[in-house]
Amino acid sequence: MKKAVHDVVTSILYILITICLLPAGVMAQSRNSDVLVIDGGTLIDGNGGTPVENSRIIIRGNRIDSVTTQGRGRIPRGATVINAEGKFIVPGLMDAHTHYAEWMPELMLNNGITSVFSIGSGGEWSLAHRDAINAGKIKGPRTFVAVGSLAGGRISALSARSGESGGLSGRQVAMDAESAIAITRRFVEAGADMIKVHRGPTIEAYRAAIEEAHKAGLPVVAQPIGPTVYARDAILAGADILEHAAGVSVSIAANPERWEGFGNIERHSLSPLPFADMDEAKARDLIKLMVDRNVYLEPDFIAMGRGYHKDKDKFELMDYRLLNRHELSYVPEANRQRMLNTYNHLKRYGPEEYEERKKGYHNMLRFMKMFVDAGGKVMTGTDTAGWAVPGQGLLHEMQILQYEVGMTPMQVIMSATQIIAEGFKVLDDLGTIEEGKLADIVVVNDDPLEDMSNIYDIEYVIKDGKSIDLTYTAGYESPFPRGAVEGSAWVRALGNQSFQGTEFGQPHPGISAISPNIKTQGDESFIMTIRGVHFTTETVAYFNGKRLKTQVESETELKVNIDASLVSEVGTYPIVVRNPEPMQRPEWGEGTSNKAHLLVNYRY
């Protein structure tokens, strides 16, 4: 009898302890269930309709099974239940313009961003990282990638690669329609989710790339800020999305000759200056064209207005406090400093130009309100990790859209959810909370329709049907650090240095590229080509510290044998080459090159 009583007491204690260990508001009816229920709360489903009080959302696996109210239907036996009484439920937020990096996952997810669109040039890395996230191998927001971008000849000095190179990474030069088609097809075949056309290509290249992308069912994101194509021509060519609202300012300028060649300089891509010259009639005409052709604008106000924001001091303090948390010491210092300098960046200009840029920023805000009022579709984006803190920067952007542009809170929520999904052609799966869609959901404690600043107060983030742990992990690390080759600019400078014959000592070597730069776990042995500068008969390559059999083809090319045992585990592995001392010019180093990296991908 005593034993029976003891067993009952033990069981009760076990149940109580289990309940206490669950996150606040979450009740598990049984363990190991793939059913999650969000019960109660006001549902703002992303479609723009009247919010639904006392909602009940049932999730099975990673999909939404049903969306009803508490008075209809039953909670499935064994489901995990999140009590959302008194809270507000919105679709998972999206950042329509990122340059995604491996250190961003927690910053994104913890701030409610469950999907990102990486409009950059990550090449093979971006594909591997996307697939690993989507397969659940790596923590992170759902990721959509452009892989690389098409650029004009002027951009070649800014790290572009030849369209004939056959690679994926970087800004690839599309000099004509033929090369634009070839590059676009290469991105499509690699698995790109969108095609990015950067500044510089001719209008013929624009048209060819857009037509080829549309044949594949992919949206085209454009940055038409010249010096050849601006917004109007890009729209007429069929571009779907204008990042930074690029080229709009020049297309509506009262004095277009003033802006001839604008876009030749990198910093012009985020300059609000030409908006100061806005012609109202031209603005209305361009807005009509965009609305008629269903073109989406992604303005990046958090980046465009660096220091002009109404809530500048609030944003700056929030970013400072977040980035100085000890758990986030893994954020690269260069990125940390750049993001924290955002709000003072434009102070470097003289008083006259500072005021003209400020006028341009405010005209851009006004233009965007005109666009929205005419039925135009705005996407939220940040251009992180350039000028905005990943995750939190998007929440700042949403506040700007309400309090500076003048959009309604419902319009803002849709701009961060449904409109982005629609523009990127993923609305069948994402962007709203509806039966059959992927279960990406955010629960906040106060009503964002009353005040968009309530969007910061996040209680739960559901991604792919699972509740995310909203803590930060000191020392967080991805198995796929980004960057195939470090120090490319340094290698170019090294290549311009002259050295005498090796009888005077060895030159310092540098790596500019490796091929292949990605393999799959368990691949067979293979030969890698290493390209660079200052290779000699005594140059030796190393893989993760292991000396490799090295064949010197020329002063700029090596062949090395990579044994299958070296690619048996997933990861990113450093590759260097070394020339023996003495060095002819020791100021360039002691004989070890910059690092390249081979990414060993998961085998699915």
Assigned domain for 570 exists: yes
| Token code pair at residue 213 | 């992308």
User: Where residue 561 sits, what CATH number does that domain have?
Assistant: 2.60.40.10
Is position 334 within any domain? no
Query: How far is the CA of 173 from the CAs of 179, 244, 472, in angstroms?
Result: 8, 21, 40
**175 in any annotated domain:** no
Domain count, the chain: 1
For residue 154, the model assigns a pLDDT of: 58
Dihedral over Cα of 163, 99, 95, 245: its sign: negative
pLDDT the model gives residue 23: 45
In a domain, residue 151? The reply is no
d(CA 259, CA 251): 10
pLDDT, tens digit, 9 for 90 and up, residues 141-198? 999 999 999 988 655 444 444 333 446 767 888 989 999 999 999 999 999 999 999 9
Q: Is 494 part of any domain?
A: yes
How much is the pLDDT for 167? 61
* Nearest partner of 391 among 446, 479, 463, judged by Cα: 463
Q: 472: buried, middle or exposed (CB in 10 Å: 19+, 13-18, 0-12)?
A: middle
pLDDT given at position 498: 83
Tell how many helices (H) and how many strands (E) occur in the chain: 16, 30
The DSSP bridge pattern shows strands 149-151 and 142-145 to be unpaired
Where in the sequence is the domain holding 499, given as residue range(s)?
A: 488-601
pLDDT score for 71: 81
pLDDT at 521: 94
Residue 563 included in any domain: yes
Identity (one letter) of the amino acid at 175?
A: M
Residues 576, 595: contact at Cβ < 8 Å? Answer: yes
Q: Would 527 be classed as within a structural domain?
A: yes
3-state DSSP call for residue 398? helix
pLDDT of res. 465: 97
Do the domain assignments include residue 145? no
Q: pTM here?
A: 0.88
Question: Which has the closest alpha carbon to 343: 378, 301, 374, 379?
Answer: 301
Consecutive 10-residue runs of the chain (604 residues): their mean pLDDT?
47 44 45 83 97 97 96 88 97 97 96 95 87 92 94 56 52 90 95 94 96 98 91 97 95 92 74 94 98 98 92 96 95 92 85 93 98 98 92 98 98 98 98 98 98 97 97 88 80 88 88 92 96 96 96 96 95 94 91 94 92
Query: Exposure string (b/e) for 285-314, b if CB count within 10 Å is 16 or more?
Result: ebbeebeeeebbbbbbbbbbbbbbbeebee
* Whole-angstrom distance, CA of residue 509 vs CA of residue 505: 12
Strands 88-91 and 466-467: unpaired
pLDDT of 260: 81
pLDDT given for residue 314 in this prediction? 96
